[in-house]
Amino acid sequence: MKILAIETATVDQSVAILDDDRVLALTEQNEPNSHAKWLVPAIDRALRDCRLSLSDLDGLALSIGPGSFTGLRVGLATLLGFRSVTGLPIAAVPTLEALASNVEPGPLPICSVLKCRQGELYWAQYEWIGAGELKAMLEERVGPPAAISQTLRKPTVVVGSAWELYGDQIVTAADRRHGHFQPAPPERMKPSALSVGLLGLARLKRGELFESGQAPLYVQRAEAEIKQGVVPSKSRQIIKGLGKAKRRPTKQAGIPAGS
């Protein structure tokens, strides 16, 4: 099963093309405020390098948040555009879950942490169960670094770029609660389209598809909403419905010629 996967939730952007668990292409970039100008050309180059077009693919996968509002919107709009042309199914993978999957399976729980804004973090907690399956122990949250230690009560592996910025604050607060954090290896610390693709493949094969009308997982309000005093949208409830999405065949018949 060939899929295109994208990661646009943070400044660490990437595009991957997979054939089941075989990586055909992976391209990455770290540049602020470049999602809109970088993504589509990067996808085009990756497809050409693999001598593929969109019509050769079986599905699409994207990182759905939380993260950069602009990055999430650019990524979703791009894949929705591809779907409108090709009919390809889309799998949406929570960004913090994809980040947690960077950590090798083991007995310790995993806490994914990403920078939010104004000194706050996004975080969630997962554990490996069964045959390489991640289970959410704590849903996506947003708050100050010290708040993480209030929800974690045992040794935990921490993964994510926010650790470099706020690790000392997290550890200081955790020490007061007898917590213990083990950082993941440096090469595992950033989100990747490869992880999004592998988790997206599993969702596509189970028929768990991104439906029209769903939104990125923002977790917090957009800055414009904050200024206008708008009540936060229910993006969390929307994304929860992904696990109950309608099941469809993963292979689409009669797909128009692609890119």
The CATH number of the domain holding residue 77 is 3.30.420.40
Which of 188, 204, 219 is the endpoint of a domain? Answer: 188
In eight-state DSSP terms, residue 132 is: T
77-84 average pLDDT score = 97
Would you say residue 184 lies in a domain? yes
Amino acid 179: pLDDT: 60
Would you say residue 54 lies in a domain? yes
Structural domain for 139, as ranges = 103-188
> Residue type at 16?
A
Within this chain, do residues 70 and 149 fall inside the same structural domain, yes or no? Answer: no
Would you say residue 250 lies in a domain? no
In eight-state DSSP terms, residue 160 is: S
Would you say residue 259 lies in a domain? no
DSSP alpha helices (H): ranges in the chain? 35-49, 69-86, 95-100, 145-151, 162-175, 193-206, 223-228, 235-240
Locate tokens 């992880």: which residue?
Answer: 195
Within this chain, do residues 80 and 196 fall inside the same structural domain, yes or no? Answer: yes
Within this chain, do residues 184 and 207 fall inside the same structural domain, yes or no? Answer: no
Within this chain, do residues 87 and 210 fall inside the same structural domain, yes or no? Answer: yes
Within this chain, do residues 129 and 25 fall inside the same structural domain, yes or no? Answer: no
53-57, 171-175, 187-191, 220-224: range with lowest mean pLDDT: 220-224
Under the banding of pLDDT at 50, 70 and 90, the label for residue 235 is very low
Under the banding of pLDDT at 50, 70 and 90, the label for residue 93 is very high
Nearest to 156 by CA among 132, 130, 127: 127
Number of folded domains that form the chain: 2
Which of 188, 212, 230 is the endpoint of a domain? Answer: 188
Amino acid 174: pLDDT: 72
Within this chain, do residues 216 and 154 fall inside the same structural domain, yes or no? Answer: no
| Most confident stretch, 30-34, 40-44, 167-171, 250-254 | 40-44
Within this chain, do residues 183 and 75 fall inside the same structural domain, yes or no? Answer: no
Would you say residue 197 lies in a domain? yes
Within this chain, do residues 7 and 78 fall inside the same structural domain, yes or no? Answer: yes
Within this chain, do residues 30 and 137 fall inside the same structural domain, yes or no? Answer: no
Within this chain, do residues 29 and 141 fall inside the same structural domain, yes or no? Answer: no
Would you say residue 257 lies in a domain? no
Within this chain, do residues 76 and 203 fall inside the same structural domain, yes or no? Answer: yes
Within this chain, do residues 224 and 179 fall inside the same structural domain, yes or no? Answer: no
Would you say residue 127 lies in a domain? yes
Number of H helices, E strands in the chain: 8, 10
Under the banding of pLDDT at 50, 70 and 90, the label for residue 250 is very low
Would you say residue 69 lies in a domain? yes
Q: Is the model's pTM score more than 0.85?
A: no
189-210 average pLDDT score = 96
SS3 81: helix
Nearest to 140 by CA among 229, 61, 64: 64
